[in-house]
Chains A and B, each alone.
Chain A
Amino acid sequence: QSILSQPPSASGTPGQRVTISCSGSSSNIGSNFVYWYQQLPGAAPKLLIFKNNQRPSGIPDRFSGSKSGTSASLAISGLRSDDGAEYYCASWDDSLSGVVFGGGTKLTVV
């Protein structure tokens, strides 16, 4: 059972907008930044969003993040077939004094 909760799956069609949620608590998302990672099959995770809604250089603006209270969301607009991947949220947890990850959401582009 992961500290951060994500739906196990999500799906969308090309061109659509999809959102993936991440639920935590006051000790993690509620008081710290949220980060999002994308993991393609057989590859290492790739940073998509940092500090709730910032994109690293090279990440297209189709990807956006938001946070409200103890929950966060990742939105992907203009869905493409190569967006099919596993998506993980992550944050710092003050109670654990460590980094915590969500269990992941598998996005299928149908």
Chain B
Amino acid sequence: QLQLQESGPGVVKPSETLSLICTVSGGSMSGDSYYWGWIRQPPGKGPEWIGTIYSSGDTYYNPSLNSRVTISVDAPKKYLSLRLTSVTAADTSVYYCARGFNHGPVYFDLWGQGTQVAVSS
């Protein structure tokens, strides 16, 4: 069955750019019924939505991160990417990629295991 796996640097220096990849295995990323998102969870806090990309290519970002975040997808190569610029300690979180289905913009039915990212000099 479809599986998602996040990968990236465990530590990023302040003011640098965080880049994460979500690799999809066991199935296809194609299909108009699906969308893909990134969600993060700071230590001891609830999830925070980062953004979503639809099969049309349309992207929606959290307004609080909008100017710093870029999400893209390469369906043939089966990966989703996240780029977050000018990171600070507040960006320290577990980062999850997730698949959404056409039951509204919050229907994330498949998640990766998450990858821990610490922002530290």
| Chain A positions near chain B (C-beta within 8 angstroms) | 2, 32-33, 35, 37, 43-47, 50-51, 54, 56, 88, 90-92, 96-104
Across the two chains, which residue of chain A brings its CB closest to B37?
A: A99
Partner of B46, one of A35, A44, A98, A101: A101
Please determine whether A100 and B49 come into contact, CB atoms closer than 8 angstroms: yes
Please determine whether B47 and A88 come into contact, CB atoms closer than 8 angstroms: yes
A92 / chain B contacts, CB cutoff of 8 Å: 104-106
A47 and B47 in contact (CB under 8 A), knowing A33-B104, A97-B60, A97-B63?
no
Please determine whether B103 and A50 come into contact, CB atoms closer than 8 angstroms: yes
* Chain B interface residue bracket vs A: 20 to 34
Give 23 CB contacts A-B under 8 Å.
A32-B104, A35-B106, A37-B47, A44-B96, A44-B98, A44-B112, A45-B47, A45-B111, A46-B111, A50-B104, A51-B103, A54-B103, A88-B46, A90-B106, A91-B106, A92-B106, A97-B60, A97-B63, A98-B61, A101-B46, A101-B49, A102-B46, A103-B45
Please determine whether A47 and B62 come into contact, CB atoms closer than 8 angstroms: no
- Indicate whether B28 reaches chain A with its CB closer than 8 angstroms: no
A35 and B104 in contact (CB under 8 A), knowing A44-B114, A104-B46?
yes
Chain B positions 43-78 with a Cβ under 8 Å from a chain A Cβ: 45-49, 52, 60-63
